[in-house]
Chain A
Amino acid sequence: MSDNLARVSLPIDSEPFDSPAPAHRGFRLVAPAPSRRARPRIFYALTAVAGVSAIVVAQLLLSVGISQGAYEISSLQSSQSQLARTAASVSEDLARVSSPQSLAANAEGLGMISNSNPVYLRLSDGAVLGAPASASGAQSGAASLVPNALLTGSTLLTQQTNDVAATAGALAISSAAVVPPGLAAPTTR
């Protein structure tokens, strides 16, 4: 080579690039201390897992408690609607038994007679206004001419209390009005 570049020839026994570093440089391999660092990691991991599972379990218990309450609400609502149905059914029965046909038939079955002759007793001076006359019983004994189809098949109270089998079909009034003999006069004050 004929040029004017300066060359420095390396000695043969110079170190290659990939030889280990000489000790005087101060580098040394330090092995990691796994035991000292690994325990905290596992501890933290276990803590984290335990915490998460505790939260999950707590949420599970809460949702179980809420669902339990929802089941209770549902069953109470259904029993409320059942009771409302019973109440409605009983009110219907009451309205039917309160009808004039039922009342009149039961009254006549007990021996009462309607009286259309009003007489008034004035308490201040004992005066009697009107013309007193005994009840003529004009209304008794007639089967109701104002029918009520809801009462078919129902029984009179007198028949019920006497434990006699109810007459099937229409509400019937016994032809002979039974008045118990010897009714004691009510004591008045």
Chain B
Amino acid sequence: MNVRTSSARNSSARGNPTNSRSSRRRTVFTIFVLFAVISVFLVRLVDIQVVQADSLTADSVGNRSVGQTVYGSRGEILDANGVVLAGTVMRYNITMSPVNATPFDRTVDGENVEVSVADAAAEIGAATGQSGDAILSTISTALEANAKSNFAYIAQQVDVDVLRAVQALRIPWTYSENSPSRVYPNGAVAGNLLGFLSGEGVPQAGLESGQDACLASVNGSETYEKGADGVRIPGSSVTNTVAVDGGDVITTIDSDLQWFVQQTLATRAQETGAAWATAVVQDAETGKLLAVADYPSVDPNNVGGTEPEDRGSRAFTQSFEPGSTLKALTAASVLDAGVATLETGVVAPYRYLPANGANINDSHSHPDERMTLTGVLIDSSNTGMSKFGELLTDQQRYDYLSAFGLGEPTETGFPREDSGILHPADEWDNQTSYATMFGQGLTTTALQVASVYQTIANDGVRMPVQLVEGCRLPDGTMTNVPTATGTQVLSEQAANETSDILEMVYQKSWVSSVWNIPGYRVAAKTGTAQMPDGEGGYSNGYLVSVSGFAPADDPQYVVSVSIADPVKLNTSGAPAPVFQEIMSQVLKKYRTVPSGATAPDLPSTW
């Protein structure tokens, strides 16, 4: 029996309207208030998402995450010993937010000092080397273009010391960003080979351009969040794509030797008033280039300091008629084909008029001389060479010239390399047919001449000319390593006999006192070639050259020096001292011990 609840039931049974109605009212009231609040939110939601969506999105751009480039670093170019020839360094751009460029407070000696924009600009300018007015004008220019401009450069490509000086000022509206830059620590050493980058970082010449596939890096990106005043929120960086560094290019060049060769060549070229000059040092057994020097040459740190036509490497790009140095090639071809021996003799007149109508004469008038092949090269007699050369057919001599690498660019892959001109044998006219025997009527580059002597020095095996060892990727693997298989162009005997002839030339030549390297057996040949005047004939200028190798009994190094139009000394006496100094330095640097053996003595007359 529910006694206590009866009162309640009774009151409801009697229908106490106040209690039940009030509770129902409370319920209804509560529900009403709830719906009112929900509808307020609903209206606000619709308002933001639908009505004001576009304008709010526009306002929020820039308040969201900011993307930033993460720079990969460009690969370095190294010499054979790991010396950095071209490296990437980090420089910094000082930037600012013009719209936020307002006076700010700074605590100095415990007091709050207000720093005006002009004072701040003067302080920044003292650090970056600009005037305060220049910075103020940058601010005003930026604000004129865009009243809400949030970005302008104060200074670009400054180094760490300037950056720290600016950061120490603690001016709230200045920032910095990374900006990688290229530096060439050795200046003009190998500048002709390295090339340089444009202001925007685009490779312009040389190895920077030719090896760009190896050197180029890929930038990554990351996003971060920043506050309303532009300050980056720490810890909010997210890496979107990883930056990929470029690979290093390892060259075969020795930077110390390159410097020495460039210095020696430049000194002599200025003494003789030359238009340009090149010097090549090549390893005789491997074909690797140890030094390739040009005069004039560019300092990649200061490209504007050199004329545009001097900013490349004429050793690769400038072909010329080599002249008498190519007589060694003709002699080697004759010996290899077996049509003559070291004892074969000819009579060399001053002027020779062969049957086909050509006209060949020697450089100085002389009576008829009885010369062996050795004598022809010692005296550098064109007529004597013609009499030996005509023992081979044109096609045979063309085949030898091609096998030695003439008419084709070398294997280095240098940008804009000249292949030289070698016309097919059936296109040779009567004069050209003889002229090619002594290095005229065809053109070569300095590297092709060096390669000819490398073949003779290396027992007749021509090695590919090599400038780059390979591309070393960031993980250490080497790629793009050039092949190193040689081709047998001459028999070993023919090459050795030619080497002996060249030793005799070195001993007996008219410049023998100038290019003498005491204690060593050296083989070398001079050359004096007329330079074309650009209109089909020859000018008065000569291209004088000396090419040779040492030690002659076991050749290690080939040196080839060419000087174009040395107006003050128009003979091969100009490059001879350069050859002597470079070869001495090479033999000393690589500790090549003289064997002490005596040179052969070949007859030059019969």
Which of A's residues lie within 8 Å of B, judged by CB?
Answer: 17-18, 21, 27, 70, 74, 85-86, 88-89, 92, 95-96, 98-101, 104, 116-120, 129-131, 133, 138-139, 142, 144-151
| A148 engages B235 (CB within 8 Å) | no
Q: Which of B189, B234, B256 contacts A74 (CB 8 A)?
A: B234
The list of the 6 closest CB pairs from A to B, nearest first, reads A148-B187, A131-B518, A118-B588, A130-B519, A145-B266, A149-B302
Q: Which residues of A contact B235 (CB under 8 A)?
A: 70, 74
Q: List 23 A-B contacts (CB under 8 A).
A: A70-B235, A74-B235, A89-B161, A98-B185, A99-B186, A100-B186, A100-B189, A100-B256, A101-B187, A101-B189, A116-B584, A116-B588, A131-B518, A139-B263, A144-B263, A145-B262, A145-B266, A146-B187, A146-B188, A146-B266, A149-B305, A150-B183, A150-B187
| B185 engages A99 (CB within 8 Å) | yes
| A89 engages B160 (CB within 8 Å) | yes
Answer whether residue B308 sits at the interface, using C-beta atoms and an 8 A cutoff.
Answer: no
A1 to B133, CA, bound (A): 124
Q: Which residues of A contact B585 (CB under 8 A)?
A: 116
Q: Which of A74, A88, A119 contacts B90 (CB 8 A)?
A: A88
Instruction: Return B99 CB to nearest CB of chain A, in Å.
Output: 27
Instruction: Give the size of the chain B interface in residues (CB under 8 angstroms).
Output: 44
A113 to B207, CA, bound (A): 34
| A118 engages B187 (CB within 8 Å) | no
Q: A74-B234, A149-B187 are in contact. Are A86 and B299 (CB under 8 A)?
A: no
Q: Which of A27, A86, A92 contacts B183 (CB 8 A)?
A: A92
Q: Which residues of B contact A150 (CB under 8 A)?
A: 183-185, 187, 301
Q: Which residues of B contact A95 (CB under 8 A)?
A: 84, 87, 185
| A146 engages B259 (CB within 8 Å) | yes
Q: Which residues of A contact B593 (CB under 8 A)?
A: 120, 129
Q: Mark B444-476, 1 if CB is under 8 A from A, else 0.
A: 000000000000000000000000000000000
Answer whether residue B297 sits at the interface, using C-beta atoms and an 8 A cutoff.
Answer: yes
A133 to B584, CA, bound (A): 14
Closest B residue to A117 by beta carbon equals B584
Closest A residue to B92 by beta carbon equals A85
Answer whether residue B115 sits at the interface, using C-beta atoms and an 8 A cutoff.
Answer: no
| B89 engages A92 (CB within 8 Å) | yes
| A147 engages B90 (CB within 8 Å) | no
Answer whether residue B159 sits at the interface, using C-beta atoms and an 8 A cutoff.
Answer: yes
Closest B residue to A89 by beta carbon equals B160
A147 to B255, CA, bound (A): 14
| A96 engages B259 (CB within 8 Å) | no
Q: Which residues of B contact A85 (CB under 8 A)?
A: 90, 160
Instruction: Return A24 CB to nearest CB of chain B, in Å.
Output: 15
Closest A residue to B1 by beta carbon equals A21
Answer whether residue B50 sits at the interface, using C-beta atoms and an 8 A cutoff.
Answer: no
6 additional A-B pairs beyond A100-B186, A145-B266, beta carbons within 8 Å, are A89-B160, A101-B187, A142-B263, A146-B259, A149-B187, A150-B185
Q: A88-B89, A117-B584, A131-B518 are in contact. Are A146 and B189 (CB under 8 A)?
A: yes
| B185 engages A96 (CB within 8 Å) | yes
